[in-house]
Chains A and B, each alone.
Chain A
């Protein structure tokens, strides 16, 4: 088996880990902390790297667990999670520039995803943004592939529903 190097195999995962952490915690600072903790944890378990099927899945699993822990702690401290995703910005509807509108729509979709339950959010992030297979996602979340499919299905249905609603009523 290939020798795993921290600098070449683990460190480049930082952005992927960061995006997953951000999807879960919805807070950039927290997400960065999560990635940092993940890296340290992965490093401390370096004697087990050789036994792993996929170092990426291992890192993502640790990252998700830490992020969920952090989120729970934050909830315990009664901190608001709403800082990053406040109410949709209404100003864009009057913006004539298509590009700016597009940007706002992307923000809107992000917000839609961010409002999903954590599991669906993580699944959606890993599938639609990172382009991972069901098998890999199942490995990361430690659930069956069927469960992954169900979560993807629910997430997409919710997003679609939101799209339809938006279309009907506007924002």
Chain B
């Protein structure tokens, strides 16, 4: 087998003129098992491997060190999630308005016992009916002529 090409490449390698590709050819050549005697001595130079390396625990250590200050990764924000605070605010306003409106009714009518309330209402009604006797009732229609009836007295 002719090793002229390899010898040539090797010579250029020593001169620092080889390209990366040619160096990888040399490396490939020296990786095969049968190398002629006169070239064998150079073999170690081309089989230097990337053997020194760091353990996996190194990754964890570094990541642990930087994680303390790591910023949150960029997230994909959809329109809905982007407007979510707005929705929340709107929902809170709606709840407040609804509750407010609902609360109006009890404030208007009070919280008294419905029984008492009914009794009071009933009494008032019967009082006003009693006050409005038949004569007065006739006069209601021509109130301009008749003297104004006394305002009914409500007795609490």
Contact = CB atoms under 8 A, between A and B. Distances in A.
Interface residues of A, number: 38
Contacts of B66: 6, 39-40, 43
Contact of A18 (B24, B43, B52, B61): B52
Interface in B90-132: none
A11 B54 CA distance: 11
Contacts, number: 79
Contacts of A54: none
Nearest to B24: A131
B86 interface: no
B54 A128 contact: no
A7 interface: yes
B79 interface: no
Contact of A163 (B13, B41, B49, B50): B41
A70 B138 CA distance: 118
Contact of A14 (B41, B43, B49, B59): B59
B16 interface: yes
Given A18-B53, A36-B61, A36-B62, A167 B41 contact: yes
B20 interface: yes
B103 to A, nearest CB: 54
Contact of B16 (A35, A109, A149): A149
A133 interface: yes
Contacts of B61: 36
A35 B63 contact: no
B23 A32 contact: no
B136 to A, nearest CB: 93
Contact of A15 (B20, B44, B53, B63): B53
B54 A7 contact: no
Interface string A128-171: 11110100000000000000010011001101100100110000
Contact of B48 (A36, A110, A152): A110
